[in-house]
C-alpha cells in the first residue's frame, strides 16, 4: 500500500545527502542486490563469459580438424565432456561455440534495441498520423512470426556472421520500439517538457536532454531481455539451418547436431549445450528482472 | 466511442496491417534468387518459360502495377501452385490451417489455465519460497528452446516411460487428429511451456499491482475477507491486462507451432512450411507467411474485442 | 466469532478510544515513526476532526484505528472500537468489525471503487459480509442506500460502473458502502479533498445529515480548516506524529493555545465575504504601487481574444474553450478561477502557446502568435516564465537543481560562459530564498515547497515579462503555500512582471490577484477587480461558488451554511415552480 511515509517529508527533517547521482545509484544497486535471482543470474553470466573467453586459454583443444579416430567418445579423463561426431572435444567446443552465441546474441540484441528505440521515440514524439503509420508498420512486423521470416531467408540465402546479426536485429526490434514509444508518450507530456516548450526550447533539446536520458532505464531493461531473446533466437536459427556454418559453431548448432545422437544415448552431445543456452538466457532474464526492480521500470510487453 | 465505430476502426487498422504485410511478402518475392518467375516456376524452368511467364504475369511492367496485380491475385484466393506437391497453395493451406489452429488454441488454453492460478499464487505469496521457486522455473521454461524441451519430453515420457507416443496423430481432418488425444499430449505440453512461463509472470505482476490498489482497501474496510477480495475483485481486474497481452502473444504461439509440428511430425501448416523451406518451394513459403500473418492479425483483433467485452472502461474509450 | 454478533456500540463510553497509539514503518532506511503517544476518543454522535499537514501522521492514525495499516507498519498501544481491541487483532475479528461497527470513507473516489464491478454489487457485498440476506434483498437495499446518499435514479445507477459516475457521485457510493450496515463509527479520511468546492459542500452536508440521523460518531481526518469549522464538534491537532492540542472546535479554531496551531491557522488564506467590510487580513500581494497609474492602463502583456478550443472531431469533439477573452497587463496579476473542467488550465496553455486555438487570436507582448515564424516565436517566448502544479513532475529528476534552473539560459542565452551561468543561477536562487548550495542537489532531495521555489527560480532566471502559474501551490501545505506566494508577490513588486495565476482556491486568488476571471464550462462567467467580483459577484454561479467555500471560523461558517442552504432551497422551489 502507498502509505509508506518518505523520510524527510516533514518540514525541517530533510537529511542533507551527498551527491545526488551517487545516492540514486546506491539505491538502485541496493534494490538490484535485494533481488536474489538477479544476483545469481549475474554470477551465472560472469561464469559463462569467463568460461567462453578465458576458458580456451586454460583448456586448449583442436576445434578445426576432424579427428575420426575419436568420434562420439563418452566423457573421460582425457575428454571431460566426451567428443562429438567428428571428434571435437565437447568441452572445448562448448567454449568455442559459446563465444559465437554470446557475441551474436549480444550484438543482435543491442542492434534490435537501437532500431526499436529510434523508431519508437520518433513515433511517440511525433504523434498524430505519423505515429499511427509507424505503429501500423510495427504491427505488421509483429504479425509475421520471426521464425517464419527467418526460414524464408534461410531458403533464399546463407548469411555470414555479420549478416546474421543484422537479420536477427531486423526481426526483433518491434517489442522495444513499442516500449520506448509508450515511455516517450508519457514523458513528452511531463510538466518539465511542457515548461521547456512554453519558454521556447526546441524539440531537439526536449528529446536529447530530457526524453532519452529519462528513457535510459527502460531501454537498458528492454535491451537485457532483448539479448536473452536474441541468444534464444540464435539457437533456433541454427536449428533452422540458417546459423553459423561448420566448422564454426554455436550452442544452437551443437544442440541441433546432437539431436539425432540423443536417441543413441550420446547425452553429452545435447545436455551441455542445452543447459548452457538455458542458463545464459535464464541469467539475462533474471538480470533484466533485477534491473527492472533497480530502476523501478514497469512491464515487459 | 460506440461499439460499431470501434469495430470499424479496429478492422480498418487490421486491414492496413495486412496490406503492409503483403508489401513485405511482395518484396520477398522479388528478393528470390532469379526473381519471382524462377521462384514460382521452380528451378527446372527454362529461360523461354521464364520470359513467357514474365510477360504473361506482367512482370515486365513497373513495380507498383505488379503489386496491384499481385493484390488482385490474392483477392481471388490465388496463392500460386506448389512446385513440389503440384497442388494449389491455397488448397494445401486450407487443409492444414485448422490443424495448426487446433494445436495453438489447445496449447494456449492449457498454458493459461496453468499460468493464471500460478501467477496469482505467486503474488499472494510474494517473496516467499514458493514465489522464488515458480519464478526460477518460469525463467527456465522461458529460456529453453522448444525443440530441446520437446526432445527431453520425448526422451522422458516416450522412451524412458512409455506413457505417450513420440509422434503426433496423423490424418487429413480435424476429427482424425482428435481421435488420438494421447498423441497430442506431448506437442501441447511443449507448446504451452513458455506460455505458462510468460503469462504467470504477467499474472503475478498484474495481481501484485491490483492488490495495492485503493479499491482493495475499500473492500477490506467493508469487512470483506482477503480470499473473497482476491477472487471477486483482484482476479478480474488482473485478468484484463493479461487478455490484452494474449493478442501480442499470438505470433509467438505460431512460431512455436512451427517447431513443435516439425518435431512431432504433426501434419499442420508449420510442417508444411518446414518441408517447403527444405525444398525451396517459394509459393508455399510466401503463401504460408501471408496466411499466418493474417491469422495473427485476426487473433490480435479477437483479443482486443474480448478485452473490450470484459472491461467496460475500454468500451467507453478510456483505459 | 460469537462476539462479532453482539449488538454494536454499548451505549456507555466512547465508540472509539485510542490510548498511547504509536505506529512505526519499517523502510529500507530503517524504522520511521509515523505516530506516537496518540490518545483520543470519539463519543457516539460526535464528530472529532483530526487535523494536520502532510506527514503529520493523521491518516496513519485513522488507518490504524481500522487495522488497515500497510504490511510494513507496526502499531503499538491500544485502539478500541466499541470496546473491541484493534491493535494486534486477527483478520477474522477485524473483518467482523469493519463495515459493520466501523466504516471508512477515503480521499480518492476515482480509485476507491473496483472499476470492473457495478456499484450496486459493491454495496451489496458490504451488506452481505455482515448480514444473512439473499442477494436479491441486498441488491434492493443497495438501491435504497444509493437513494439515501442522493444519487438520482438509484435503481438505474446501481448497475453503473464507477467510471460512468462523476467524482462526487463516486464518493456518494463510497459513503453508501460505509453506512450500509449502520456503523457506530465512521472514519472519513480527507473525504472531500479530491472534489470541487461545490461538490465538497454537498458531500459535507450529506455526511452531517447521515451522522445526525443515525447517531454515528465520526472521526474526520482533514487538512482543511474550513471543513473542520463546517463539520466538527471537537478538534485534535497533529504535528509530527503527535497530538499537540485537543478541544472544542470554537476554542481550537478561534482561541488556539498551542504555538503550532496558531501558526497553522495564521497561514490559512481566509476568504473575505461581503458584509465583513474591508478584508481584515493583510493582503499578501501589494504590487499595485508598481503598476502604472490607474488612469492609463499598462500595455497588455498577453491577450486572448475570442479564443475557442475544440479537442477532437465529429461527435466526440469537446469544446474546451468557448469565446474566451482575457488580458493580463504589465505588473498585474489576473486570477483565473473555476472548478475542474472549467477550462482554466486550457486557457493558460493557450496563453503559453502550447495549445493552438481553434478560433480567435493570442497576442504575446503585442505580437500575434499565429503570425510569427518559429524562430521569432521562440525569441518571444524567452519573455515567459512558467510554474506548474506538480512539484515532482515539474523538475527533471535526472538533472541537478542548478541544471534545471539554468535550462532557460541554455536555450536563450547561449553565449554565457559556465561561470556567468552559475552566477545567474546563484542569484536567482537567492531571490527565491533558497540556499545557493541546493544547486548541486537532486530535486528529489528537496521538499515540495522547495521544489516549487526551484520551478519559480527557473521561471524567473530570464527576468520574464509574463509569469504563468498553474495551481503553483495546490499540492503544498498551507504554511508552505504562504511562503511560496509571498516570494512570488515580492518578486513581482521588484521585477514588475505580469502574472496569470490559475487556481481553484478562491481565498488564495482573493489575496493574491488584482483582477479575477471566473470560468465555467469553457466560458468566462464574469471578470473584474478581485475586490468587487469576489465580494459582490454579479452572476449566480459565482455566488454559488463563493457560498460553497467553507471558512475556518465555526461561528461564521454556521451562518454561511444556513444561508447557502436557504438559497439552494429557494432556488430549487423557484426551479420547480
CATH number at residue B103: 1.10.3720.10
Residue B308 included in any domain: yes
Question: Per mean pLDDT, which range of A81-85, B166-170, C122-126 is the poorest?
Answer: A81-85
For A142-200, the pLDDT digits (tens) are 888 888 888 888 777 777 888 888 988 988 899 899 989 988 988 888 899 999 989 88
pLDDT band of B308, cuts 50, 70, 90: confident
- The boundaries of the domain holding residue B18 are 3-75
State the DSSP code for A19: -
Average pLDDT over residues B5-10: 83
For C11-30, the pLDDT digits (tens) are 568 999 999 999 999 887 78
Largest CA-CA distance found in chain C, in angstroms, rounded: 81
CA atoms of B301 and B251, how far apart (whole Å): 13
For C230-241, the pLDDT digits (tens) are 999 999 999 999
Same domain, B196 and B264: yes
Residue of C nearest to B233 (CA): C114
Is the predicted pLDDT of residue B248 greater than 70, yes or no? yes
Provide the CA B1 distance to its chain's centre, in angstroms: 29
Total tally of structural domains belonging to chain B: 2
Q: So what's the pLDDT on residue B317?
A: 46
DSSP states of C301-336: EEEEEEEEEEES-GGG-EEEEEEEEEEEETT-EEEE
pLDDT band of A19, cuts 50, 70, 90: very low
Nearest CA distance, C349 vs chain A (angstrom)? 8
Is the predicted pLDDT of residue C247 greater than 50, yes or no? yes
CA atoms of C16 and B198, how far apart (whole Å): 48
**Contact map slice: A 247-276 vs B, CB within 8 A:** 252, 255-256, 259, 262-263, 270, 274
Q: So what's the pLDDT on residue C296?
A: 55
Looking at every residue in chain B, the average pLDDT score rounds to 83
Same domain, B122 and B269: yes
Give me the interface pTM, i.e. the ipTM: 0.82
For C192-242, the pLDDT digits (tens) are 988 888 889 999 999 999 888 888 999 999 999 999 999 999 999 999 999
Nearest to C560 by CA among C149, C270, C267: C270
Residue B122 included in any domain: yes
Q: So what's the pLDDT on residue C280?
A: 40
Secondary structure of C386-431 in HEC code, one letter for each residue: EECCCCCCCCCCCCCHHHHHHHHHHHHCCCCCHHHHHHHHHHHHHH
**Contact map slice: C 79-98 vs B, CB within 8 A:** 91-92, 95-98
Q: Which residues of B touch A142 (CB under 8 A)?
A: 248, 251, 296
CA atoms of C185 and B253, how far apart (whole Å): 55
pLDDT band of C81, cuts 50, 70, 90: very high
Same domain, B68 and B111: no
Same domain, B136 and B267: yes
Domains and CATH numbers, chain C: 16-266 (3.40.50.300), 300-309+320-547 (3.40.50.300)
Residue B85 included in any domain: no
Same domain, B112 and B199: yes
**Contact map slice: C 426-455 vs A, CB within 8 A:** 440-442, 444-447, 455
Residue B89 included in any domain: no
Same domain, B57 and B173: no
Q: So what's the pLDDT on residue B235?
A: 92
Same domain, B54 and B196: no
Is the predicted pLDDT of residue C476 greater than 70, yes or no? yes
Q: So what's the pLDDT on residue A17?
A: 37
Measured between CB atoms, which of C99, C106, C130 is closest to B214?
Answer: C106
Average pLDDT over residues C530-556: 90
Residue B80 included in any domain: no
Same domain, B145 and B263: yes
Average pLDDT over residues B134-156: 87
Q: Is C294 on the interface with B (CB under 8 A)?
A: no
Q: So what's the pLDDT on residue B267?
A: 86
Q: So what's the pLDDT on residue A14?
A: 35
Beta strand C217-222 with C47-51: parallel, antiparallel or unpaired? parallel
Is the predicted pLDDT of residue A10 greater than 50, yes or no? no
pLDDT band of C246, cuts 50, 70, 90: very high
* 3-class secondary-structure state, position C74: strand
Average pLDDT over residues A278-295: 88
For A202-256, the pLDDT digits (tens) are 888 998 889 988 888 888 888 998 999 899 888 888 887 777 776 778 888 888 8
Task: Kindly determine whether residue B214 and residue C112, on different chains, have CB atoms separated by under 8 Å.
Answer: yes
Is the predicted pLDDT of residue A78 greater than 50, yes or no? yes
For C269-318, the pLDDT digits (tens) are 888 876 554 444 334 444 444 444 444 567 889 999 999 999 877 677 78
Mutation site for A-interface testing, chosen from B26, B128, B143, B204 by largest number of A Cβ within 10 Å: B143
Residue B230 included in any domain: yes
For B50-100, the pLDDT digits (tens) are 777 777 766 677 778 888 888 888 888 787 778 777 888 888 888 888 889
CA atoms of C85 and C94, how far apart (whole Å): 9
Are the CB atoms for C532 and C351 separated by under 8 Å? no
Same domain, B100 and B61: no
For C354-401, the pLDDT digits (tens) are 888 999 999 988 888 888 888 888 888 889 999 998 888 899 988 899
Is the predicted pLDDT of residue A69 greater than 50, yes or no? yes
CA atoms of C257 and C250, how far apart (whole Å): 12
Q: How many CB atoms within 10 Å of residue B75?
A: 8
DSSP states of C327-377: EEETT-EEEEE--TTSSHHHHHHHHTTSS--SEEEEEETTEEGGGS-HHHH
Residue B86 included in any domain: no
Mutation site for B-interface testing, chosen from C59, C93, C114 by largest number of B Cβ within 10 Å: C114
Is the predicted pLDDT of residue C504 greater than 70, yes or no? yes
Largest CA-CA distance found in chain B, in angstroms, rounded: 84
Tell me the CA distances in angstroms from C52 to B156, C234, C245, C475, one per residue in order: 67, 14, 11, 15
CA atoms of B247 and A137, how far apart (whole Å): 16
Residue identified by cell 492488490 is B211
Q: Is B215 on the interface with A (CB under 8 A)?
A: no
Q: Which residues of B touch C180 (CB under 8 A)?
A: 222
Same domain, B66 and B158: no
Residue of C nearest to A10 (CA): C55
Q: CA torsion, points A189, A190, A193, A199, in degrees to nearest 10? A: 90
pLDDT band of C424, cuts 50, 70, 90: very high
Helix (H), strand (E) at residue B286: helix B282-310
Average pLDDT over residues B198-226: 90
**Contact map slice: A 7-66 vs B, CB within 8 A:** 36-37
Residue B91 included in any domain: no
Q: So what's the pLDDT on residue C289?
A: 41
Percent share of chain B, pLDDT over 90: 13
Strand C47-51: give its sheet, edge to edge. Answer: C102-105, C185-189, C217-222, C47-51, C234-239, C242-248
CA angle in degrees (0–180, nearest 5) for C478-C480-C484: 115
Q: Which residues of C touch B315 (CB under 8 A)?
A: none
Q: So what's the pLDDT on residue C395?
A: 92
CA atoms of A301 and C399, how far apart (whole Å): 29
- Which residue, of B15, B46, B75, is where some domain finishes? B75
Q: So what's the pLDDT on residue C31?
A: 87
Q: So what's the pLDDT on residue A301?
A: 32
Better pLDDT: C518 or C447 = C518
| Grid cell locating C495 | 521585477
Residue of B nearest to C121 (CA): B232
pLDDT band of C175, cuts 50, 70, 90: very high
CA atoms of B99 and B93, how far apart (whole Å): 10
Same domain, B180 and B287: yes
CA atoms of B283 and B36, how far apart (whole Å): 9
Helix (H), strand (E) at residue A12: none
For C320-354, the pLDDT digits (tens) are 899 999 999 998 999 999 988 889 999 999 999 88
Q: So what's the pLDDT on residue C387?
A: 93
Q: Which residues of B touch C183 (CB under 8 A)?
A: none
* 3-class secondary-structure state, position A159: coil
Same domain, B30 and B106: no
CA atoms of A55 and C368, how far apart (whole Å): 71
Q: Which residues of A touch B24 (CB under 8 A)?
A: 140, 144
Amino acid at each position: 500500500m502507498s502509505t509508506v511515509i518518505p523520510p524527510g517529508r516533514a518540514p525541517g527533517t530533510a537529511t542533507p545527502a551527498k551527491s545526488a547521482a551517487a545516492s540514486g545509484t546506491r539505491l538502485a544497486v541496493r534494490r538490484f542486490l535485494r533481488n536474489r535471482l538477479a544476483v545469481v543470474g549475474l554470477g551465472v553470466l560472469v561464469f559463462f563469459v569467463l568460461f567462453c573467453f578465458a576458458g580456451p586459454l586454460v583448456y586448449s583443444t583442436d576445434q578445426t580438424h576432424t579427428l575420426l579416430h575419436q568420434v562420439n567418445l563418452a566423457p573421460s579423463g582425457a575428454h571431460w565432456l566426451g567428443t562429438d561426431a567428428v571428434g571435437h572435444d565437447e568441452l572445448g567446443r562448448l567454449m568455442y561455440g559459446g563465444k559465437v552465441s554470446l557475441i551474436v546474441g549480444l550484438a543482435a540484441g543491442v542492434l534490435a534495441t537501437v532500431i526499436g528505440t529510434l523508431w519508437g521515440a520518433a513515433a511517440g514524439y511525433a504523434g498524430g498520423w505519423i505515429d499511427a503509420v509507424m505503429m501500423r508498420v510495427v504491427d505488421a512486423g509483429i504479425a509475421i512470426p520471426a521464425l517464419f521470416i527467418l526460414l524464408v531467408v534461410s531458403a533464399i540465402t546463407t548469411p555470414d556472421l555479420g549478416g546474421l546479426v543484422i537479420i536477427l536485429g531486423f526481426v526483433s526490434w518491434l517489442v522495444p520500439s513499442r516500449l520506448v514509444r509508450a515511455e516517450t508518450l508519457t514523458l513528452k507530456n511531463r510538466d518539465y517538457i511542457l515548461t521547456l516548450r512554453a519558454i521556447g526550447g526546441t524539440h531537439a533539446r526536449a528529446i536529447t536532454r530530457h526524453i532519452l536520458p529519462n528513457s535510459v532505464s527502460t531501454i537498458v531493461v528492454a535491451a537485457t531481455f532483448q539479448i536473452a531473446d536474441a541468444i534464444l533466437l540464435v539457437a533456433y536459427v541454427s536449428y533452422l539451418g540458417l546459423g553459423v556454418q561448420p566448422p564454426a559453431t554455436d550452442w544452437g548448432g551443437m544442440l541441433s547436431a546432437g539431436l539425432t545422437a540423443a536417441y543413441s544415448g550420446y547425452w553429452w552431445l545435447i545436455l551441455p549445450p542445452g543447459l548452457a543456452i538455458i542458463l545464459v538466457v535464464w541469467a539475462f532474464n533474471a538480470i533484466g528482472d533485477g534491473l527492472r526492480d533497480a530502476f523501478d521500470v514497469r512491464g515487459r510487453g | 466511442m460506440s461499439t460499431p465505430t470501434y469495430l470499424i476502426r479496429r478492422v480498418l487498422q487490421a486491414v492496413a496491417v495486412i496490406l503492409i504485410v503483403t508489401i513485405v511478402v511482395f518484396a520477398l518475392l522479388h528478393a528470390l534468387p532469379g526473381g519471382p518467375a524462377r521462384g514460382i516456376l521452380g528451378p527446372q524452368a527454362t529461360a523461354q518459360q521464364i520470359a513467357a511467364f514474365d510477360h504473361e504475369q506482367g512482370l515486365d511492367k513497373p513495380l507498383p502495377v505488379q503489386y496491384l496485380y499481385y493484390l488482385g491475385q490474392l483477392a481471388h484466393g490465388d496463392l500460386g501452385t506448389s512446385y513440389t506437391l503440384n497442388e494449389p497453395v491455397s488448397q494445401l493451406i486450407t487443409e492444414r490451417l485448422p490443424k495448426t489452429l487446433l494445436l495453438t488454441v489447445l496449447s494456449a488454453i492449457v498454458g493459461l489455465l496453468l499460468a493464471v492460478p500460478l501467477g496469482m499464487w505467486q503474488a499472494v505469496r510474494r517473496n516467499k519460497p514458493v514465489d522464488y521457486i515458480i519464478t526460477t522455473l518460469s525463467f527456465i521454461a522461458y529460456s529453453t528452446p522448444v525443440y530441446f524441451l520437446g526432445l527431453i519430453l520425448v526422451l522422458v515420457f516416450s522412451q524412458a516411460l512409455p506413457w505417450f507416443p513420440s509422434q503426433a496423430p496423423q490424418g487429413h481432418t480435424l476429427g482424425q487428429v482428435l481421435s488420438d488425444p494421447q498423441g497430442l499430449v506431448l506437442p501441447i505440453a511443449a507448446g504451452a511451456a513458455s506460455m505458462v512461463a510468460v503469462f504467470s509472470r504477467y499474472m503475478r505482476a498484474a495481481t501484485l499491482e491490483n492488490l495495492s490498489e485503493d479499491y482493495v482497501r475499500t473492500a477490506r474496510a467493508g469487512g470483506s475477507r482477503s480470499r473473497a477480495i482476491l477472487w471477486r475483485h483482484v482476479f478480474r481486474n488482473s485478468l484484463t491486462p493479461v487478455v490484452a497481452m494474449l493478442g501480442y502473444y499470438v505470433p509467438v504461439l505460431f512460431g512455436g507451432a512451427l517447431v513443435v509440428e516439425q518435431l512431432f511430425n504433426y501434419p499442420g501448416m508449420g510442417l508444411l512450411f518446414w518441408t517447403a523451406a527444405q525444398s525451396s518451394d517459394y509459393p508455399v513459403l510466401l503463401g504460408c507467411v501471408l496466411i499466418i500473418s493474417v491469422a495473427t492479425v485476426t487473433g490480435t483483433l479477437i483479443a482486443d474485442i474480448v478485452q473490450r467485452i470484459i472491461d467496460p472502461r475500454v468500451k467507453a474509450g478510456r483505459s | 466469532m460469537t462476539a462479532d454478533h453482539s449488538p454494536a456500540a454499548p451505549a456507555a463510553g466512547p465508540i472509539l478510544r485510542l490510548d498511547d497509539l504509536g505506529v512505526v514503518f519499517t523502510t529500507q532506511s530503517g524504522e520511521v515513526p509515523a505516530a506516537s503517544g496518540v490518545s483520543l476518543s470519539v463519543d457516539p454522535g460526535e464528530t472529532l476532526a483530526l487535523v494536520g499537514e502532510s506527514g503529520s501522521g493523521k491518516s496513519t492514525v485513522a488507518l490504524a484505528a481500522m487495522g488497515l495499516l500497510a504490511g510494513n507498519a507496526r502499531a503499538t498501544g491500544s485502539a478500541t472500537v466499541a470496546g473491541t481491541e484493534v491493535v494486534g487483532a486477527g483478520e477474522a475479528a477485524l473483518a467482523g468489525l469493519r463495515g459493520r461497527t466501523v466504516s471508512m470513507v477515503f480521499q480518492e473516489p476515482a480509485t476507491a471503487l473496483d472499476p470492473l464491478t457495478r456499484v450496486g454489487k459493491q454495496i451489496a457485498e458490504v451488506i452481505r459480509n455482515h448480514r444473512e440476506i439473499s442477494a436479491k434483498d441486498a441488491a434492493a437495499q443497495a438501491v435504497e442506500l444509493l437513494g439515501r446518499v442522493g444519487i438520482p435514479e438509484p435503481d438505474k445507477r446501481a448497475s453503473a460502473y464507477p467510471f460512468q459516475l462523476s467524482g462526487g457521485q463516486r464518493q456518494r457510493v463510497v459513503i453508501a458502502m460505509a453506512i450500509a450496515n449502520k456503523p457506530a463509527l465512521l472514519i472519513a479520511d480527507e473525504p472531500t479533498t479530491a472534489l470541487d468546492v461545490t461538490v465538497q459542500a454537498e458531500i459535507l452536508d450529506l455526511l452531517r445529515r447521515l451522522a445526525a440521523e443515525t447517531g454515528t460518531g465520526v472521526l474526520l481526518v482533514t487538512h482543511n480548516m474550513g471543513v473542520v469549522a463546517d463539520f466538527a464538534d471537537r478538534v485534535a491537532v497533529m504535528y509530527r506524529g503527535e497530538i499537540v492540542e485537543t478541544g472544542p472546535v470554537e476554542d481550537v479554531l478561534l482561541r488556539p493555545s498551542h504555538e503550532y496551531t496558531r501558526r497553522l491557522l495564521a497561514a490559512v488564506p481566509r476568504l473575505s465575504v461581503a458584509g465583513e467590510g474591508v478584508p481584515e487580513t493583510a493582503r499578501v500581494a501589494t504590487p499595485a504601487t508598481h503598476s502604472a497609474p490607474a488612469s492609463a492602463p499598462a500595455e497588455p502583456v498577453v491577450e486572448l481574444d475570442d479564443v475557442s478550443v475544440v479537442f477532437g472531431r465529429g461527435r466526440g469533439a469537446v469544446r474546451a474553450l468557448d469565446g474566451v477573452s482575457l488580458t493580463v497587463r504589465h505588473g498585474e496579476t489576473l486570477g483565473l478561477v473555476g472548478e475542474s473542467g472549467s477550462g482554466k488550465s486550457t486557457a493558460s496553455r493557450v496563453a503559453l502557446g502550447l495549445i493552438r486555438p481553434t478560433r480567435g487570436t493570442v497576442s504575446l507582448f503585442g505580437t500575434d502568435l499565429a503570425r510569427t515564424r518559429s524562430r521569432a516565436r521562440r525569441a518571444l517566448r524567452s519573455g515567459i516564465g512558467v510554474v506548474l502544479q506538480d512539484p515532482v513532475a515539474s523538475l527533471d529528476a535526472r538533472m541537478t537543481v542548478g541544471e534545471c534552473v539554468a535550462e532557460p539560459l541554455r536555450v536563450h542565452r547561449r553565449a554565457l560562459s559556465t561561470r556567468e551561468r552559475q552566477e545567474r543561477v546563484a542569484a536567482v536562487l537567492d531571490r527565491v530564498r533558497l540556499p545557493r548550495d541546493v544547486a548541486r542537489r537532486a530535486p528529489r532531495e528537496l521538499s515540495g515547497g522547495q521544489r516549487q521555489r526551484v520551478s519559480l527560480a527557473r521561471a524567473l532566471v530570464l527576468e520574464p515579462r509574463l509569469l504563468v502559474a498553474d495551481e503553483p501551490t495546490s499540492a503544498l501545505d498551507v504554511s508552505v503555500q504562504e511562503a511560496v506566494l509571498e516570494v512570488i508577490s515580492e518578486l513581482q513588486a521588484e521585477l514588475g512582471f505580469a502574472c496569470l495565476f490559475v487556481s481553484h482556491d478562491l481565498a488564495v486568488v482573493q489575496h493574491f490577484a488584482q483582477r479575477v476571471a471566473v470560468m465555467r464550462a469553457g466560458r468566462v462567467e464574469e471578470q473584474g477587480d478581485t475586490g468587487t467580483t469576489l465580494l459582490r459577484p454579479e452572476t449566480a454561479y459565482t455566488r454559488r461558488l463563493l457560498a460553497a467555500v467553507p471558512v475556518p471560523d465555526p461561528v461564521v461558517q454556521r451562518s454561511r451554511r444556513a444561508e447557502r442552504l436557504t438559497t439552494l432551497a429557494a432556488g430549487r422551489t423557484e426551479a420547480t415552480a
